[in-house]
Amino acid sequence: MTGRPSLRIGVLALQGDVREHIASLDALGVDAFGVRRAEELERCDGLVIPGGESTTMIKLARNFELLEPLRARVAAGMPAFGTCAGMILLADRIVDGAEGQETIGGLDITVRRNAFGRQVDSFEEDLPFAGLADPVHAVFIRAPWVERVGERVEVLATAAGHPVAVRQEHLLATSFHPEVGGDARVHGAFVDLVAAR
């Protein structure tokens, strides 16, 4: 893939594998940077929402006065890519969430938190991924899965009989951590999505 230095892709820098996502995006030749403030979000052509702890991340987003700007940008069509907890934050509905747990929303899915189990149940698996010739090495860490998808949602990969990678228009989400392991193809698919917008 050729570099796209004119694209500015932020990584929500409240918690999680921020550096790893930035490194994956840097390898693809885009301008990647951390986002903690609304003014940094305004610079973004697209945004990666990394893994972490979804309830903590939403509280931090509110504390940093980012939650409403995030919702507004996603609703207005800014491409976003959520991984693990980031998938939960983009989901419209959560099963087994904390009481009153909020999301950014926009992705017409129902997601189950910690569906694959606790930290000790983490695992790795090579998964066929729609649009990619070879399987993706997927690392699952306290990962969610998708219980229901809306009619506009495309399932890109499954594990244990459940969707673990989905796309809906300008939104992409994976249950697993594509920033781990040096394979930037899923990030490349997101960069292409951003470029197409």
Give me the active site residues, please: 84, 177, 179
Structure tokens at 23: 């490194």
List own/partner pairs for 188-192 with CB under 8 A and 24 or more apart: 188/1, 188/28, 189/131, 189/132, 190/9, 190/46, 190/48, 190/79, 190/81, 191/1, 191/4, 191/7, 191/9, 191/25, 191/28, 191/30, 191/46, 192/1
3-state SS record for 165-192: EEEECCEEEECCCCCCCCCCHHHHHHHH
Quick one: DSSP state of residue 121? G
Do β-strands 154-159 and 162-168 pair in parallel, antiparallel, or remain unpaired? antiparallel
